[in-house]
Structure 1
Amino acid sequence: MSCGKPHETDCSEVLAEVWLFLDQECDQTRRAKLEQHLDECSPCLERYDLEEHLKVLLARKCGGEHAPDALKDRLRASIRKTILEKGGVRVERTEIELRDES
């Protein structure tokens, strides 16, 4: 994905790392670059907002259970690779409903 405007950090890189940014799992230098990009790029900011809402929803519905670190690392790597290979993912509108089956 690219908004067509020049940025120090490419849109696809930002979107590949948005979950690291949300989880505060990147170093301060990288966080500052991602934050700067989000301040400058409204399409990426909209995507960030969607991801942030999804994170809140998942925490509310699935809170308490934690995946092993090795699984989280593999998922992050897979997501990053997929997004970079496909040039980003465009999401117009997504509604997700998680149901508590208990």
Structure 2
Amino acid sequence: MSCGEPHETDCSEVLEEVWLFLDHECDQGRRELLEKHLDECSPCLEQFGIEEHLKVLLRSKCGGEHAPETLKQRLRDKIRQAAPPPRTS
């Protein structure tokens, strides 16, 4: 996805990392880049809002239970394998 506007961080890259952003699992520098992009890009901000609401819904329906770290890592690995490679300019 791309909004057609130039950004320091590409829209598709931001949306690939939105769950890391929501879960505070990226370093501070990366978090600031993603946050800046979301402030500038309304299509990504809208998608971010959808993802954020989904996370809240899942948390409320799952009773606040935390998945084991090994499961989280396996899921991250599978998502990275399934995600298309980042585009290079």
Task: Provide TM-score, normalisation by structure 1.
Answer: 0.75
Q: Which has the higher contact order (CA 8 A, sep 6+)?
A: 1
What secondary structure is seen at the aligned counterpart in 1 of 2:76? helix
Cα separation, partners in 2 of 1:14 and 1:61, compared to 1, 3 Å? same
Residue of structure 2 equivalent to 1:93? none
Q: Which runs of 5+ in 1 are unaligned?
A: 88-102
Residue of structure 1 equivalent to 2:66? 66
Cα separation, partners in 2 of 1:32 and 1:73, compared to 1, 3 Å? same
Cα separation, partners in 2 of 1:7 and 1:80, compared to 1, 3 Å? farther
Residue of structure 2 equivalent to 1:13? 13
Equivalent residues of 1:16, 1:80 under 8 A apart: no
Cα separation, partners in 2 of 1:19 and 1:51, compared to 1, 3 Å? same
Q: CA deviation at 1:80?
A: 4.1
1:56 aligns with 2:52: no
Residue of structure 2 equivalent to 1:92? none
Q: Aligned partners of 1:56 and 1:64: how far apart in 2?
A: 10
What secondary structure is seen at the aligned counterpart in 2 of 1:64? coil
Q: Runs of at least 4 residues of structure 1 off by over 6 A?
A: none
CA RMSD of aligned residues (A): 1.7
Q: What's the % identity of the aligned pairs?
A: 72
Q: How many residues align?
A: 86
Q: Which runs of 5+ in 2 are unaligned?
A: none
